[in-house]
Amino acid sequence: MAPAEEVGGEFPVGMKVLVVDDDPTCLAVLKRMLLECRYDATTCSQATKALTMLRENRRGFDVIISDVHMPDMDGFRLLELVGLEMDLPVIMMSADSRTDIVMKGIKHGACDYLIKPVRMEELKNIWQHVVRKKFNENKEHEYSGSLDDTDRTRPTNNDNEYASSANDGADGSWKSQKKKRDKDEDDGELESGDPSSTSKKPRVVWSVELHQQFVNAVNHLGIDKAVPKKILELMNVPGLTRENVASHLQKFRLYLKRIAQHHAGIANPFCPPGSSAKVGSLGGLDLQALAASGQIPPQALAALQDELLGRPTNNLVLPGRDQSALRLAAVKGNKPHGEREIAFGQPIYKCQSNAYAAFPQSSPTIGGMPSFSAWPNNKLGMADSTGTLGSMSNSQNSNIVLHELQQQPDAMLSGTLHSLDVKPSGIVMPSQSLNTFSASEGLSPNQNPLMLPSQSSSFLVAMPPSMKHEPVLANSQPSTSLLDGIDLVNQASTSQPLINTHGGNLPALVNRSSNVIPSQGISTFQTANNPYLVSQNSMGVGSKQQPGVLKTENSDSLSHSYGYIGGSAPMDSGLLISQSKNTQFGLLQSQDGLTGSWSPLQNVDNYGNTIGLSHPGSSSSSFQSSNVALGKLPDQGRGKNHGFVGKGTCISSRFAVDEIESPTNNLSHGIGSSGDIMSPDFFGFSGQM
Amino acid sequence: MAAAPLREQLSALLSSMFSQGLVDEQFEQLQMLQDEGGTPGFVAEVVTLFCDDAERIIAEIATLLEQPIVSFDKVDAFVHQLKGSSASVGAQKVKFTCMQFRQFCQEKSRDGCLMALAVVRNEFYDLRNKFQTMLQLEQQIQAYDPKQQ
């Protein structure tokens, strides 16, 4: 239906409302009342169905009214998810008027809380929430685009209002500003020389890429230190305002918290403790990570990561249970969380670290991406397990998942990588993260940061192709080589804590890619919404890819990759995707020369492309090669990166192909192909893609 | 007009329902939505939905209370549901008895719950009868006078 404004030009006529309640009587009454208010009402008796509807058509609704007590999903949960994924105003409703419950609603982000029976007068006013939200978002965009009057008539508004285009660049999101805003006189103020030409200050759509960048930035800074201003700087996204970032950060934090809690409750379904192998371990780790992610404060996570790194990874399962890994693991899909939450990439990071950690070689330096291994093992669902990453996201966001799946395999790989030992988890991570992302975001974490070719996420671009590879590795998992490769990647990712930081050993860079993972310390993010995580890598990607610095920290970011995705987290894969992308790149960063100089991950243009671990050849250390592979994500040229992605989660093909040059480990692409991911090529970037 | 006495009957019935507290202003709003909103049959639809749903819930509660070990949380959830439904339709008395019922649930008193269930059931049946009479009268009136009265 045309946006409210378009209907006769009188707002709020025609405003689209979605009502979710299991009580048929109430639904009928509300629908009638809303019609009486001249809104366009849609009713739904199941929360899960409502979520699907929303995901499929983000711009199809302006406001949601949801009951608190529902049989298939808690109303608060739906509230969170909608807020994170779609950023739509949600009004809670219940016959329960107890103050503590109402408080809970507000804390979860409800715009309002109505007590049944809902009266017409109350319904007549709900348009305020829609306008307020848009208004605030527009304010945040002060620097972005100007609200030209001409823009008001932008016809696509309706459609783009909530542009959640995962693939759209920032511009797109801003362009989609809500028409409603047009009516506001603020438009005039919003003029700014924003690159998004004439885009009014549309509300920012946190696409996967954007989110990934965000996550990367946060990871990079460390969840504790992540302040909007710095994040904004790191992200370096034109048109984005500090306010945008601030509000997004807030949500992200909430998300992480929720995830943590959520995970805490989730026993590692994934991996049997001690299962060294890949999946098993990761799974366990993941859970832990997941749990950790949510609950574990950043410091704790870091500690875990350290632990992981320090621990000899026997199965990578995250020695310490990297939180990140846990997260990743969890996200990956081990926990088929319905929610994306897990996807927040955190797991991704973790996994990576684990992967590294697991690997003896993984140098603890990796930033403790301990979790990576754990994660990959879990298969983050990607590769192995159900491709959870990819699959997870699939379930979640099936749309994105596909993309991500591709990526995911990386993620998975990374996860598995850990277990392998070398697990390129680093690399994998990215993908994993992707998974998580996707899971949560529906982005299908698979996106393997590296591979995310599709994602055009401008932000993530960095997605080290290696990341993609990783997933491949992960798939094959047991290939520790993946981790190796990932490591490389991670390492390459220098700044990217992405995944790779895993132990760094991973010659396979595979982990490297993890570097890509927004190692930014995103670990903490992991818990948070996956959507945010997605960008984690992004940060790493663009940012300083410190050569050789495998910042494992990023692993967190990788984990952020919302790798959660596995968890079916609602995270729209979109976010994840972006994340994964980043992560991927992060990994790749590495090595420019393979020999150690990790070229900044950014290579990944598509996310995975850049990862150009181009040095696959030289990598004397598998690491490098892996990096190369990762970093190489041949970027751009490689296009192949996408290849990984395309591989469908199994980057293994990629990796396998690549013969993982890394001599060392086999980075074995364990992911998909027992090949080692490590070889820089393995990501195929080197040319294979 | 033949419908006149029927109309009177209906009017008297509704008055008594209001005065006895069986229905409240929420129900009045529903009536307004129907009459002024031009959606005939709206009240009938909602009332029917409510009656079916309430019947189901009451049966579920009864079953739960018969168990050797009663899960008061589940009972409470059902009562809460019924409370929401009755509130939405304007069934005031049923709603109030539900509130009392929840007290017993919190106290985890099976006897209290059984008693409250009996009260709720009676109130619901009473209301349902009146609703059914109301709907019948409306239909008859409509038969006489096709235009919604």
Instruction: Record the tokens describing residue A575, joined without a space.
Output: 């976010």
Give the pLDDT confidence score for residue A265 in this predicted structure.
64
Nearest Cβ partner for A29 among B46, B53, B77: B46
Question: Which run of H or of E encompasses A63?
Answer: strand A63-67
In this prediction, residues A316-337 reach a mean pLDDT of 41
Asked if the model's pLDDT at residue B109 lies above 70, the reply is: yes
Distance (Å, whole) CA A150 – CA A644: 42
Asked if the model's pLDDT at residue A28 lies above 50, the reply is: yes
Query: Number of residue pairs across A and B with CB atoms under 8 Å?
Result: 60
For a pLDDT cut of 70, what percent of chain A falls above it? 28
A654, A683 in Cβ contact below 8 A?
yes
pTM: 0.43
Q: What are phi and psi of A398, to 5 degrees?
A: -35, -35
Nearest Cβ partner for B81 among A23, A28, A33: A23
In tens, the pLDDT along A142-169 reads 655 544 444 444 444 444 444 444 444 4
Q: What are phi and psi of A43, to 5 degrees?
A: -115, 155
A42, β-bridge pairs:
A18
The dihedral formed by the CA atoms of A521, A522, A524 and A527, expressed in degrees to the nearest 10:
-160
> With an 8 Å Cβ cutoff, are B30 and A117 in contact?
no
> With an 8 Å Cβ cutoff, are B87 and A95 in contact?
yes
Closest-CA distance, A61 to chain B, in angstroms, reads: 24
What's the mean pLDDT when you consider all of chain A?
54
Distance (Å, whole) CA B72 – CA B102: 9
Helices and strands (H, E) in chain B, number of each type: 6, 0
In tens, the pLDDT along A561-597 reads 333 333 333 444 434 333 434 433 333 333 443 343 4
Nearest Cβ partner for A24 among B53, B77, B90: B53
Nearest Cβ partner for A28 among B46, B87, B90: B46
B33 CB neighbours in chain A (<8 A) are 32-33, 36, 120
Distance (Å, whole) CA A392 – CA A455: 18
> With an 8 Å Cβ cutoff, are B87 and A35 in contact?
no
Cβ burial A275-290 (10 Å sphere, 16+ → b, else e): bbbbbbbbbbbbbbbb
More confident residue, A261 or A110: A110
In sequence order, which residues have a C-beta less than 8 Å from that of residue A274 and are 6 or more positions away?
Answer: A280, A281, A284, A314, A315, A317
User: What confidence tier does B79 reach under pLDDT thresholds 50, 70, 90?
Assistant: very high
Cα atoms in the Cβ-side hemisphere of radius 13 Å centred on A394: 18
In tens, the pLDDT along A221-262 reads 887 878 888 888 888 888 888 888 888 888 888 888 888 877
Distance (Å, whole) CA A113 – CA A452: 40
Give the pLDDT confidence score for residue A266 in this predicted structure.
57
Give the pLDDT confidence score for residue B149 in this predicted structure.
47
Closest-CA distance, A18 to chain B, in angstroms, reads: 18
Nearest Cβ partner for A116 among B30, B53, B84: B84
B87 CB neighbours in chain A (<8 A) are 95, 116-117
- Nearest alpha-carbon partner for A74 in A90, A55, A89: A90
Q: Least CA distance to A34: which residue of chain B?
A: B33
Distance (Å, whole) CA A430 – CA A554: 10
Query: What does DSSP assign to residue A534?
Result: H
Distance (Å, whole) CA B141 – CA B147: 9
Asked if the model's pLDDT at residue A10 lies above 90, the reply is: no
In tens, the pLDDT along B10-46 reads 999 999 999 999 999 999 999 988 888 788 889 999 9
> With an 8 Å Cβ cutoff, are B53 and A23 in contact?
yes
A23 CB neighbours in chain B (<8 A) are 53, 81, 84-85, 88
HEC-encoded secondary structure of A89-142: CEEEEECCCCHHHHHHHHHCCCCEEEECCCCHHHHHCCHHHHHHHHHHHHHHHH
In tens, the pLDDT along B126-147 reads 999 999 999 999 989 888 876 5
What are the DSSP calls for A192-229, one per residue?
---SSTT---PPPP--HHHHHHHHHHHHHH-TTT--HH
B45 CB neighbours in chain A (<8 A) are 28
> With an 8 Å Cβ cutoff, are A23 and B26 in contact?
no
> With an 8 Å Cβ cutoff, are A25 and B30 in contact?
no
Give the pLDDT confidence score for residue A429 in this predicted structure.
40
In tens, the pLDDT along B53-74 reads 999 999 999 999 999 999 999 9
A430, A587 in Cβ contact below 8 A?
yes
A559, β-bridge pairs:
A348
Asked if the model's pLDDT at residue A620 lies above 60, the reply is: no
B57 CB neighbours in chain A (<8 A) are none
Asked if the model's pLDDT at residue B76 lies above 90, the reply is: yes
What are the DSSP calls for A353-421, one per residue?
HHHHHHSSSS-GGGT-THHHHHHHHHTTBSSSSTTIIIIIHHHHHHHHHHHHHHHHHHHHHHHHHHHHS
> With an 8 Å Cβ cutoff, are A28 and B53 in contact?
no
In tens, the pLDDT along A54-103 reads 888 878 888 999 999 888 888 898 888 888 888 888 999 998 888 998 99
In tens, the pLDDT along A422-451 reads 444 333 343 333 333 333 333 333 444 343
